[in-house]
Amino acid sequence: MELKAWEYDEFPEFSEDVPGVEWLDTTGNETGARYIPNVEYECIDGVSRVLQILIPNSRNAKVPRPGQGPAAHSYPCVVYVQGSAWMRQDVYGNLPNIARLADRGYVVAVVQYRDSSVAGFPAPVQDARNAIRFMRVHATEYAVDPTRVAVMGDSSGGHTAVYSGIMHDDDTPANLFPGTSAEMSCIVNLYGSTDLDFEDSNPSTPNHNMPDSPEGMEMGGINLNRNQKARELLTVRRNISEATQIAPVLTFHGTKDRTVNTRCSVLLHQRLQETGHDSTLYLLRGADHGGPEFWSPQVLDIVDEFLQKHLG
């Protein structure tokens, strides 16, 4: 065989009859994920924040590496906000699960937000929206269809994902990409910490709503029990009315969640519905705060159907 830079189509296929060998057919449409780590999307006051980007990749729809030209194919994009109680995130630990979305044909950008030690609310929401804008601005580089964008998140990331749908800041200085929209077509909320406005909203947090609690630190180290205005500002449902513009929301929550009370999602769902918004809630019997149950084929099928419905 001649040694040269072969094109795929011209390369001669091995076809010898080898006794005892099993043959499997492939189509070239089998999809995996290409991982592009630590892509900076913003730098505010010297604080850099990055994305972990996963792109669907197959033999028939191969995505070039960054810097090797624009992608010939485009996919809907899911901007994923990793939960962390608003503290420093581990944006790598959940990537094996999140990659299953890329396997299903979605570009996924995992957001590292400014945590509570750096900046308080609404910094994570502003960061998530700037991540959406970044993916739109760089759509051709990362194989994104900029008209089809969803937001998804878990725990505090679920709070950020839903809040990013009601905080419309395109025309404010928070927008690092003027002229680029941060609006999304739909939102997926995994057991989001969306409600701080009832006593046991975080059943296993002994200092719940106190200045050194995760939620207290997110609001600047204050006692939320003594500051109703701040507590309600952080509670998503308290900021939703009939006039609120928000994309359809799909929520999953475990019935034995020891970290974020299941009622947080129930109250959010009820508020969305009573104000005329599109909301769907699934309760997973026996599930705790996260875990493999939320990445089962059954749940992923529901998420996939929801995304396809609203992303087109």
> Quick check: is 17 in a domain?
yes
3-state class (DSSP) for residue 19: coil
Claim: this prediction has a pTM higher than 0.85 = yes
188 lies in a domain? yes
The Cα 300–Cα 100 span in angstroms is 8
Q: What is the mean pLDDT of residues 216-243?
A: 97
Tell me, yes or no, whether 61 lies in a domain: yes
Residue 302 has pLDDT above 90, yes or no: yes
Residue 242 has pLDDT above 80, yes or no: yes
Question: Residue ranges of the alpha helices (H) in 47-174?
Answer: 95-103, 123-137, 156-164
> Does 172 map to a domain?
yes
Please report whether residue 22 resides in a domain: yes
* Residue 66: per-residue pLDDT: 73
Is residue 3, in this structure, part of any structural domain at all? no
Is the pLDDT reported for residue 17 higher than 80? yes
Predicted pLDDT at 10 = 93
State the chain's maximal CA–CA distance in angstroms.
79
Structural domain span for residue 281: 8-311
**What confidence tier does 69 reach under pLDDT thresholds 50, 70, 90?**
confident
Of 190, 295, 180, 197, which Cα lies nearest the Cα of 251? Answer: 190
- Total structural domains within the chain: 1
Q: What pLDDT score does 249 carry?
A: 98
First to last CA, the chain: 46
pLDDT > 70 in the chain, percent: 100
pLDDT (average), residues 40-60: 95
Among 30-34, 50-54, 250-254, name the one with the lowest average pLDDT: 30-34
Q: Cis before residue 178, ω within 30 degrees of 0?
A: no
- Given a cut of 90, is residue 289 above it in pLDDT? yes
Would residue 180 count as lying in a domain? yes
Position 1 confidence tier, pLDDT thresholds 50, 70, 90: confident
Domain assignment of residue 258, yes or no: yes
For residue 64, pLDDT over 80 is answered with no
Planar angle of CA 163, 165, 171, nearest 5 degrees: 105
| 39 three-class SS | strand
Residue 312 pLDDT: 86
CATH code for position 124: 3.40.50.1820
